[in-house]
């Protein structure tokens, strides 16, 4: 697989990645095990997403670039279930994929 560049958003406060979490049972806490780290095609898409849906967080997150081959390590280290590829940051349209050996 080619070394495609993805963009992720990370908290400047605690280093956590911006992720989507499906609805969980009442009283069950969010955890990376049931979360999908969000991937963006462009740096500007990541900024557009946060400006549209959480403008109050704009100054608390940073956009980082990441290559395909780095995703598996990120998912394993943080125990994410998979990725959510944001295809349109304004809608938003997100394609979810469960973790496999390599993306």
- For 45-97, the pLDDT digits (tens) are 999 999 998 889 889 999 999 998 899 899 999 999 999 999 988 887 899 88
The residues with which 93 forms a beta bridge, in sequence order, are 88
CB 76 within 8 A of CB 35: no
List Cβ neighbours of 21 (8 Å cut-off, separation of 6 or more): 30, 34, 35, 36
Model confidence over 7-37: pLDDT tens digits? Answer: 999 999 999 999 998 777 777 767 778 899 9
Report the run of H or E that residue 27 belongs to, with start and end.
Answer: none
Structure tokens at 60: 């608390």
């Amino acid at each position: 697989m080619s070394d495609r560049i993805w963009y992720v958003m990370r908290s400047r406060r605690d280093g956590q990645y911006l992720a989507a979490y499906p609805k969980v049972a009442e009283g069950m806490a969010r955890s990376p095990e049931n979360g999908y780290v969000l991937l963006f095609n462009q740096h500007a898409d990541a900024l557009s997403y946060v400006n549209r849906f959480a403008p109050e967080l704009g100054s608390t997150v940073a956009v980082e670039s990441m290559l395909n081959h780095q995703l598996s390590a990120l998912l394993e280290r943080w125990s994410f279930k998979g990725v959510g590829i944001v295809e349109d940051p304004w809608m938003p349209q997100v394609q979810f994929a469960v973790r496999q050996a390599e993306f």
